[in-house]
Structure 1
Amino acid sequence: MNKKLIRRGLIASGLINIGAVLILSRGFTNTAINEADPVVMSNFGLLMIMVWGLAFLGASTIPSNIKWLAGAFAVEKLVYTITWIRWISENSLTQIYATDIFAGVFYSVYGLNDFLFMCFFVWVYLYYSKTKNN
């Protein structure tokens, strides 16, 4: 049961990374996302978020211990969560929504999404830490 949940969580994380970027960036044409955070959320940055999504999908096919991979994923999600907290504390969501609703949704949810999946990846790391075959 736990391994099935882990697989589904990895797939969900991958699909959300890829799908949310493609939809909310309107296929990399939504400049409001780029302008609100030109360093982290440039089109290159958005592409790298999708690459992480591919890594999560790839990890979902590994039938054995992914302890250290899950640990790396948790750190990646921690970095994005901290980046989002800093961004949200220094910027106005109201202004982003006024510019573009898709960009507003993106900046409203990306950090919460990363925080939840960070918790998931920590749980996966701990799950495999308790198994016999580390």
Structure 2
Amino acid sequence: MSTLFIRNGFIAAGLANILAVLLLSRVFTNTVIPETDPVVMSSFGLLMIVVWGLVFLAVAPSYQQVKWVVGAFVVEKLVYAVAWFRWITTHDVAAVYAKDLFAGIFYSVYGLNDFLFMLFFAAVFFQLHKAGSNL
């Protein structure tokens, strides 16, 4: 993967976190999202997703120097993907859509997004590891 592609991938990850949460939560006013999963997607949890997005953006220009931070991103995305998979296989997303379209969209896609970015961050981490980056 080229440096430009990777940098843009970090930017995409950051913007996906920030814009999706702000849009689908209606800037933290959508009560259906935190009511649906108050442990993982509380209002505080949604705010922390935005903070992670800011961190992805901050790392974009210097990801080569922070291999282990990229590794932490893999773990962070894995945790959210697993939480989503457990939720989506034990709940009825149609019931969420019935309450609120934006919340339904949120619960339909957030785990897939996290899984795909987990794969991206893992590929970057292994590329850095292979290149011998020890930072």
Compute the RMSD of aligned alpha carbons.
Answer: 1.1
Whole-Å separation in 1 of the counterparts to 2:34 and 2:41: 5
Offset of residue 75 of structure 1? 0.2
Counterpart in the other structure of 2:66:
66
- Kept in 1: contact 2:64–2:128 (CA 8 A): no
Alpha-carbon displacement from aligned partner over 1:48-86 (angstroms, at most 9, x marks no partner): 000000110000021633321111000000000000011
- Contact kept in structure 1, 2:67 and 2:133, CA below 8 Å: no
Does structure 1 residue 8 correspond to structure 2 residue 13?
Answer: no
Q: Please state how far the C-alpha of 1:10 moved relative to its aligned partner.
A: 0.2
2:6 maps to amino acid: I
Q: Output the CA distance in 2 between the equivalents of 1:62 and 1:87.
A: 34
Structure 2 unmatched ranges of 5 or more: none
Shift of 1:89: 1.1
Q: Deviations over 1:100-132 (max 9, x none)?
A: 000000000000000000000000001101114
Structure 2 residue aligned with 1:23:
23
TM-score (structure 2 length as normaliser): 0.95
Distance 2:27 2:35 in 1: 16
Contact preservation (8 Å) 1:66, 1:128: no
Runs of 4+ in 1 over 2 A off after TM superposition: 63-66
CA distance in structure 1 between the aligned counterparts of 2:84 and 2:63, rounded to whole angstroms? 32
Shift of 1:2: 1.3
